[in-house]
Amino acid sequence: MDAKIVIDDIRKGFTRKGETLQVIDGLSLQVKDGEFVAIVGPSGCGKSTLMKVISGFALPDSGAVRIDGVEVRGPGPQGIVISQHGSVFPWLTVRENLMFGLNRGTPADKRALADHYAEMVGLKGFENAYPRELSGGMLKRVEIARALVVKPQILYMDEPFSALDALMNLRIRNELLRILQEERHTVILITHDVEEALYLADRIVVLSQRPTTIQRTFQVTQAHPRRLSNAQLQQMKDEILSELGLDLDLDLDASADVVEQRQA
Ligand SMILES: Nc1ncnc2c1ncn2[C@@H]1O[C@H](COP(=O)(O)OP(=O)(O)OP(=O)(O)O)[C@@H](O)[C@H]1O
């Protein structure tokens, strides 16, 4: 099957006061229709820049991104970005926020669709609430519903759950998996959280330090719901952390040394 998204040898840098900071250095990746790809990488390596290029919010200096064979020259209707910053309008109710991006159908159709998605993310009964009346986790669910209601083919998620507490993070991950089972989207997720990637993704791409390119990819074949205590997933987690330069055994040894030195 042809790839849904083709990222073809892209390069991207930023020039300031005559100095160029090279951020992406010849990166190629293909994402299949309906695939869930997670991207992890060292802090500041260029993950968000990559996401902006893939979603059309920034243009590469060279190379190209193609969706269904068509080169991306700007943000398109087939994809929606969910970021950590949030884009819920505070002056609109939950229902109005969900109806905002809908431009087809009668007002009654739009309302019914908005309410369906509010229910899907567990916000039934809060359709008339304003964002200020919701918790952080509920707001994030409005955000997800707002992205899903327009039925995008592609979800671009840049650290979408990083502002949430651990429990809400787990709940929303499960919510997302459930929705993805019902409605097939192609997903690209950027995350700092290796366990989140292991829990959700079909494939995990590890980026190198800046200027970034793909260092290694991991195929995650375990069926959902996954148990992170699974030996293969644990092994993969160790390998990914090691790719990221976070070798846990070494780090523990190093910190034990420090403790011993302090005690001496
Ligand atoms: N618009 C811009 N102009 C100049 N430099 C930029 C711009 N956007 C990003 N950068 C620089 O590009 C580099 C990569 O930034 P980016 O935000 O893509 O990294 P990241 O991997 O997402 O970071 P983090 O892990 O902290 O979320 C950084 O050094 C950043 O300062």
Sketch the domain layout of the chain as residue ranges: 3-75+155-168+180-263, 79-151
Calculate mean pLDDT across residues 192-196. Answer: 93
46 in ligand 1 pocket by Cβ < 6 Å?
yes
pLDDT at 120 over 90: no
Q: Which atom of ligand 1 is nearest to the CA of 52?
A: 18
* Mean pLDDT calculated for residue range 193-209: 96
Local confidence band at 121 (pLDDT 50, 70, 90 cut-offs): confident
Question: Does any ligand 1 atom lie closer than 6 A to the CB of residue 43?
Answer: yes
Q: Which CATH class is domain 3-75+155-168+180-263?
A: alpha beta
Tell me what pLDDT residue 79 has.
92
SS (H, E, C) the chain: CCEEEEEEEEEEEEEECCEEEEEEEEEEEEEECCCEEEEECCCCCCHHHHHHHHHCCCCCCEEEEEECCEECCCCCCCEEEEECCCCCCCCCCHHHHHHHCCCCCCHHHHHHHHHHHHHHCCCCCCCCCCHHHCCHHHHHHHHHHHHHCCCCCEEEEECCCCCCCHHHHHHHHHHHHHHHHHCCCEEEEECCCHHHHHHHCCEEEEECCCCECEEEEEECCCCCCCCCCCHHHHHHHHHHHHHCCCCHHHHHHHHHHHHHHHHC
Give the total residue count for the chain. Answer: 264
Q: What is the position in ligand 1's atom list of the atom closest to the CA of 44?
A: 23
Q: How far is the CA of 115 from the centre of ligand 1 (A)?
A: 37
Reply yes or no on whether the pLDDT at 31 is more than 50: yes
The pLDDT-based confidence of 150 (bands split at 50, 70, 90) is confident
In this predicted structure, what is the pLDDT of residue 141?
A: 86
* Residue nearest atom 7 in ligand 1 by C-alpha distance: 14
Ligand 1 touching residue 17 (CB < 6 A): no
Residue-wise pLDDT tens digits, 153-169: 999 999 888 777 788 78
- Kindly report, residue by residue over 122-136, the tens digit of the pLDDT: 899 999 999 999 988
Q: 56: which 2 tokens?
A: 């059309």
Among 69-83, 131-145, 169-183, 202-216, top mean pLDDT goes to 202-216
CA 210 to centroid of ligand 1, rounded, Å = 10
For the CA of 51, the nearest atom of ligand 1: 18
User: 61-75 pLDDT, tens per residue?
Assistant: 999 999 999 999 999
Judge if the beta carbon of residue 14 lies within 6 A of ligand 1: yes
Poorest-confidence range of 30-44, 55-69, 181-195?
181-195
pLDDT of residue 197: 97
Q: Is the CB of 181 under 6 A from ligand 1?
A: no
Ligand 1 contacts CB of residue 261 (under 6 A): no
Task: Quote the pLDDT of residue 248.
Answer: 62
Of 25-34, 81-90, 246-255, least confident by mean pLDDT is 246-255
Q: What is the mean pLDDT of the chain?
A: 90
ipTM of the complex: 0.98
CA of 155 to the centre of ligand 1 (A): 21
Global pTM? 0.88
Put the strands of the sheet holding 62-67 in their side by side order: 19-32, 3-16, 62-67, 70-71
